[in-house]
Structures are given as C-alpha cells and as structure tokens.
C-alpha cells in the first residue's frame, strides 16, 4: 500500500498574514517583558530575513532571551494568550482552505517553520496539524537555556529537518511532495520537492518561480 501524499506548509506569510516570530517580540514589548528597543532591533532582523541575509544565530539568541530560565509551562502562560489574541486574527482563511483540501484528499500535512518550536507547536495545535517542525529549543534541567538546537529550520536546515522527518515516517523521496512557501529562504526545500508552490512570494522567490515554471499562488490577505 502506497504512502499518502505529503503536503508541507511554511507558516509565516504563507498560512499567516504576517510573521509569528516578529509579532511575538512586539507582543512581549506590549506586555512589558521586553523594552521598546526590542521593537527597533526586531525591525532590523525582519528586513534581513526578507532579503535572505538573516544571521539566524544572532536572531535566535535575541528571540529566545525572554524565555531563558523558564520551564515549558511558564513559557506557555506567555505564548498561549499570544496565539489566541495575535495569531488567531492573522490566519489566512484561503490558506486554511488549501490545508483542508489536502486533508480531504487524505494527504499528510506537515507544518515546517523556521520560527522556534515554542511558538510553532501551539499554532500547529490551533490549525489542527499533527506533524510540525520548528527550530528546536534547548532545555537544561527542565528550563530553557536560551539556545536553539542545530540545525535551525531555516534554509538548508529546514531541508535537513524535513528529510529526517520523512525518513522517520517512511517517505523515501520527494516524489508526490508539495511545499507551499512565500520566502526565498525556503529555496532549498522548494527545489527538492516535486511540486513547489510559491504563495504570495517575495520578489526574489517570485522571479525564480517564474523562471522555473513553478506555480505562483496569490492569496487574498484576509
């Protein structure tokens, strides 16, 4: 019996109308867990990300700092209200339809995001997606160390983590695998799958998609 087809979805600016990591930092400022200077630094990082020039080590140290020394339960008391108040209105209903269409066909859905798993996992639960990859976060003695687990789920790292997940779930190759993403940062995985889909792509990804004949999907931002 053949395996179900696999549909992989990026999260930020693909399923969401916006970036969850970026929104999380601003939320932490708004609830006084970070000071206002964090918003300025956050703006600098998001520009680098969109240009494909993000120093992920530096960014992750910045993004995980508020959770350093906290247990997972303590972190969830911060993140779960964020998902309800901030992420919920960001979910693109047209992206949800793409997910539901794959689900109705019996496909396996995998959420794969460079955002850290502390944020991605609760969002996956809200989206009712069972399989999820995010950048891993290190815990020592049940407390967040403030460090991420290499490889990150960005660029080549996302490809490696997806390959590891696929092997664990008996997917031997990228045949009949679809990947939806908006970002040039996801080029390695887009190049690997049989069916790459550029969703509201950034300028660089749109140009490459047009050159290679990849499907470009324009979703209304509502």
Tens digits of per-residue pLDDT, 109-166?
999 999 999 999 999 999 999 999 999 999 999 999 999 999 999 999 999 999 999 9
How many other β-carbons are positioned within 10 Å of the β-carbon of residue 68? 12
Q: Please report, rounded to a whole number, the percentage of residues in the chain having pLDDT higher than 70.
A: 100
Residue 104: inside a domain = yes
Residue 38: inside a domain = yes
pLDDT tens-place string over residues 31-79 = 999 999 999 999 999 888 777 788 888 888 899 999 999 999 999 999 9
Q: What is the pLDDT of residue 145?
A: 96
Active-site residue flag, 5: no
Structural domain span for residue 85: 6-217
Residue 184: inside a domain = yes
Q: What is the pLDDT of residue 1?
A: 57
pTM (2 decimals)? 0.94
Asked if pLDDT for residue 16 goes beyond 80, the answer is yes
CATH code, domain with 124: 3.40.50.1000
Residue 154: inside a domain = yes
Residue 135: inside a domain = yes
Radius of gyration, CA atoms only, the chain: 17
SS3 at position 215: strand
pLDDT tens-place string over residues 170-195 = 999 999 999 999 999 999 999 999 99
Active-site residue flag, 182: no
Domain count, the chain: 1
Long-range contact set of residues 37-46: C-beta below 8 Å, sequence gap at least 24: 38/62, 46/19, 46/22
Q: DSSP secondary-structure letter at 89? A: G
Hey, what are 154's tokens?
A: 């960005």
Residue 222: inside a domain = no
Residue 1: inside a domain = no
Residue 143: inside a domain = yes
Order the strands of the 131-140 sheet from edge to edge.
143-149, 131-140, 108-116, 6-9, 177-181, 195-199, 215-217
């Amino acid at each position: 019996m053949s395996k179900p087809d696999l549909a992989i979805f990026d999260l930020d600016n693909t399923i969401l109308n916006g970036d969850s990591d970026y929104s999380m930092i601003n939320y932490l400022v708004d609830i006084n867990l970070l000071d206002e200077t964090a918003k300025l630094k956050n703006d600098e990082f998001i520009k680098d990300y969109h240009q494909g020039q993000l120093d992920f080590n530096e960014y992750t140290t910045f993004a995980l700092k508020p959770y350093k020394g906290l247990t997972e339960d303590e972190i969830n008391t911060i993140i779960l209200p964020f998902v309800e108040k901030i992420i919920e209105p960001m979910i693109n209903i047209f992206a949800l339809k793409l997910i539901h269409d794959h689900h109705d066909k019996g496909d396996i859905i995998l959420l794969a995001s460079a955002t850290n798993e502390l944020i991605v996992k609760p969002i996956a639960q809200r989206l009712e997606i069972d399989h999820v990859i995010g950048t891993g976060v290190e815990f020592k003695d049940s407390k967040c160390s403030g460090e991420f687990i290499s490889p990150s789920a960005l660029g080549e790292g996302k490809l490696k983590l997806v390959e590891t997940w696929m092997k664990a779930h008996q997917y031997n190759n990228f045949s009949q695998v679809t990947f939806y993403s908006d970002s040039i940062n996801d080029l390695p995985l887009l190049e690997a799958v049989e069916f790459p889909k550029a969703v509201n792509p950034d300028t660089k990804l749109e140009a490459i998609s047009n050159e290679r004949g990849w499907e470009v999907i324009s979703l209304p931002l509502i």
